[in-house]
Amino acid sequence: MTMGMQALSGLGLVYIILIFCRCILKWGDGSCGTDKRPGIGIAQTTGSRQVQADVAQIWDSSAGLMAVIADGIGSANTGKVCAQVAADAILDRYEPYCELNDPIYFFRTSFLEASQRIQRTIGERRGGASTGAVFINRSHLYYAVAGDIRVAVMRGGEMIPLSKGQTLDVLAAQAYEDGKISRQDTLWSMEEKKVWSYLGQDGFHEIEVCEKPVLLKPEDKVLLMSKGIFEELSWREIEDILIDTDDSQKSADCLIRAAEQKGNPQRDNGSVILIQRLEA
């Protein structure tokens, strides 16, 4: 067996161990899982890829609900392992909390820890994970994003985007607003969707966070999704699907089917977590 094959086999074993440990934790704590609270839907598609390198998980406890989507970056099993490590690191850190008083500090420290765990796990291999997390405590929502994950709220039949993502086009738009680059340079950069910050990246240090909590209203729907969804479906298409049904799992499944029906031969992995605030 070549050194390359040994490395890939080693990563596969790491991934299996990570999944096994997470399953034990889920089994041991009934607070985890979409069947424990109504109004939650999780669905995924591999798109046109050979490997599902997205991870979508939640943890529901007395502190609130934490939802995480990690979109792995890297060849073969590397991206898959990176995504699982990222999700596990954030949820492992969250599990002991009975109350989370400073979500922004939690996001900054847990995302940094996740990035460091990825680097330790994959060593010299190239990889990482775009990661988004949403924390909902009663009527307030907080979010954090590293890389290209989208967070939005559906309210009154209208999608309200919350996160921008950490891609070069977003960076260019911000630089233009700050007066650092010209309008022409900004226009040239708007087609560049390359991620400039992600977990596992050398020198990683910056995440996108909401500095102030979002006050949720009854019947609001919170959406967390990866590229295989938001690159295939327009906001209008997403709105139409979410308006059609109040069942979160059915809505999540419909989003996946709609993305798959686009028939794009370059479809990326897609994941969606849908959370409906039912209580007043």
Q: How far apart are CA 166 and CA 158, in angstroms?
A: 24
Q: Along the 280 residues of the chain, how does pLDDT read in single tens digits?
A: 444 444 444 555 544 444 444 544 443 333 444 344 679 999 999 988 888 999 999 999 999 999 999 999 988 789 999 999 999 999 999 999 999 999 999 999 999 999 999 999 999 888 999 999 999 998 899 999 998 899 999 999 999 999 876 455 555 455 446 565 455 544 444 444 466 678 998 888 788 898 889 999 988 999 999 999 999 999 999 999 999 888 999 999 999 999 999 988 888 999 999 999 756 5
Q: How far apart are CA 28 and CA 223, in angstroms?
A: 27
pLDDT (0 to 100) of residue 178 = 59
pLDDT (0 to 100) of residue 124 = 85
Q: How far apart are CA 87 and CA 92, in angstroms?
A: 8
Among candidate residues 224, 208, 226, the one with its CA nearest the CA of residue 71: 226
SS3 label, residue 166: coil
Q: How far apart are CA 83 and CA 53, in angstroms?
A: 7
φ and ψ at residue 218, rounded to 5 degrees? -55, 140
Structural domain boundaries, residue 63: 3-276
pLDDT (0 to 100) of residue 29 = 37
- Calculate the CA dihedral of residues 97, 103, 109, 114 and round it to 10 degrees: 70
- Alpha-carbon torsion (98, 104, 109, 115), positive or negative: positive
The pTM score is: 0.81
Number of independent structural domains in the chain:
1
pLDDT (0 to 100) of residue 188 = 43
Q: How far apart are CA 74 and CA 81, in angstroms?
A: 9
pLDDT (0 to 100) of residue 140 = 95
pLDDT (0 to 100) of residue 171 = 54
Residue 22, domain CATH:
3.60.40.10
pLDDT (0 to 100) of residue 206 = 84
Query: Which stretch of DSSP H or E encloses residue 222?
Result: strand 221-225
